[in-house]
C-alpha cells in the first residue's frame, strides 16, 4: 500500500510514539485521523493537517462514532496504528500488600482490550483491505519487576497478532505488531536525564534511547510492505531487559 493512498487512524496520536507516527504519515501524504482521550490533541492534529476525535478506546460506542467520523472525513479507512496505552509500576506483592486488582484490570483494559476494540471495529470498515499495526513492547518478552500488568497486556498483543491476521486474511487485512524498547518520549523525559542515560547504557547498539521517528518509520514500512503479516518486530537496539 502506498503511503499516499493511506487513510489512517492513529490512536494515542496526541503524544509520544503516536504523535510521531501521525506527523510522519501526514507529511508523507497520508490522510490521518488522530484518536486520543486528551482534547489537546486537536491542536496538534490541526498543526499537521489531520483530523481529530476525542475517544476512550475501551468504549465501544465512542469508538464506533470516531471511526465513522474518520472514514467519512477521509473517504474511507485502510490503516490503523494503535498506540494508546498506559504503563503501571506495581509489584505482585509489594510493601503495601498485593497488586491492586483495579490497576491490573485498567492496564489490561486500555492496552489490550482497547487495542482489540479499535482493531475489530476498524477492520469492519476496511472494505478494500488494509493493515492494522499494534504497539506491543519488549516487556512482553523481558518484563521487569513491577511490570506484571504492563507486560501481560503487551504479551497479549503479541499473542493477538497472528490469530487476528488469520481471521482477517479473507478481508485482505494484515495485522502486525511493533515491540519498541526504551524510547525518548515525553513520559520518559519526565524521569530526568540521569535516569535516561542509565537506561540507554543497557542498549547494545546504538547505545541510546530510541527516537519516536524511528518507530514511525517502521510503522510506515509495515503499511507499505504488503508481505509483512502476522508477526511482531522488536525495535530495541538489541536491548534485552535484565
What are the structural domains, with CATH classification, of the chain? 3-235 (3.40.50.720)
Q: What is the pLDDT of residue 163?
A: 98
Q: What is the pLDDT along the chain (242 residues), one digit of tens a residue?
A: 999 999 999 999 999 999 999 999 999 999 999 999 999 999 999 999 999 999 999 999 999 999 999 999 999 999 999 999 998 889 999 999 999 999 999 999 999 999 999 999 999 999 999 999 999 999 999 998 999 999 999 999 999 999 999 999 999 999 999 999 999 987 777 767 887 788 889 999 999 999 999 999 999 999 999 999 999 999 999 999 88
Q: What is the pLDDT of residue 141?
A: 96
Q: What is the pLDDT of residue 162?
A: 98
Interior/surface letters 135-158, b for 16+ CB within 10 angstroms, e for the rest: bbbbbbbbbeebbbbbbbbbbbbb
Q: Which of 150, 168, 174, 235 is catalytic?
A: 150
What radius of gyration, in Å, describes the C-alpha atoms of the chain? 17
Which 8-state DSSP code applies to residue 4?
Answer: G
What global pTM score does this model have?
0.95
CB 16 within 8 A of CB 88: no
Question: And the C-alpha cell for 201?
Answer: 547504557
CB 180 within 8 A of CB 17: yes
Three-state secondary structure string covering 76-130: CCCEEEECCCCCCCECCEECCEECCHHHHHHHHHHHHHHHHHHHHHHHCCCECEE
> In DSSP terms, which residues pair with 130 in a beta bridge?
173
CB 214 within 8 A of CB 18: no
CA distance 18 to 22: 6
Q: Using alpha carbons, select from 137, 155, 144 the residue that is nearest to residue 215.
A: 137
> In DSSP terms, which residues pair with 179 in a beta bridge?
234
> In DSSP terms, which residues pair with 7 in a beta bridge?
31
Question: End-to-end alpha-carbon separation of the chain, Å?
Answer: 38
Residue 150: active-site member: yes
Amino acid at each position: 500500500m502506498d503511503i499516499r493512498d493511506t487513510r489512517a487512524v492513529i490512536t494515542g496520536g496526541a503524544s509520544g510514539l503516536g504523535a510521531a507516527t501521525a506527523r510522519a504519515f501526514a507529511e508523507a501524504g497520508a490522510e490521518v485521523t488522530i484518536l486520543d482521550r486528551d482534547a489537546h490533541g486537536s491542536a496538534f492534529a490541526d498543526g499537521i493537517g489531520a483530523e481529530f476525535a476525542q475517544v476512550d478506546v475501551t468504549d465501544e460506542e465512542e469508538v464506533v462514532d470516531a471511526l465513522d467520523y474518520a472514514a467519512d472525513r477521509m473517504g474511507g479507512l485502510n490503516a490503523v496504528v494503535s498506540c494508546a496505552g498506559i504503563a503501571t509500576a506495581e509489584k505482585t506483592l509489594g510493601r503495601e500488600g498485593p497488586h491492586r486488582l483495579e490497576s491490573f484490570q485498567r492496564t489490561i483494559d486500555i492496552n489490550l482490550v482497547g487495542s482489540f476494540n479499535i482493531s475489530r471495529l476498524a477492520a469492519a470498515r476496511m472494505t478494500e483491505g488494509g493493515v492494522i499495526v499494534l504497539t506491543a513492547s519488549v516487556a512482553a518478552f523481558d518484563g521487569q519487576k513491577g511490570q506484571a500488568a504492563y507486560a501481560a497486556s503487551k504479551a497479549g498483543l503479541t499473542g493477538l497478532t497472528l490469530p487476528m491476521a488469520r481471521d482477517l486474511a479473507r478481508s485482505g487485512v494484515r495485522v502486525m505488531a511493533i515491540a519498541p524498547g526504551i524510547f525518548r518520549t515525553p513520559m520518559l523525559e519526565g524521569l530526568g536525564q540521569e535516569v535516561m542515560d542509565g537506561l540507554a547504557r543497557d542498549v547494545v547498539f546504538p547505545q541510546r534511547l530510541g527516537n519516536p521517528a524511528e518507530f514511525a518509520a517502521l510503522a510506515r514500512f509495515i503499511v507499505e510492505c504488503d508481505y509483512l503479516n502476522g508477526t511482531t518486530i522488536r525495535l530495541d537496539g538489541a536491548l534485552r531487559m535484565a
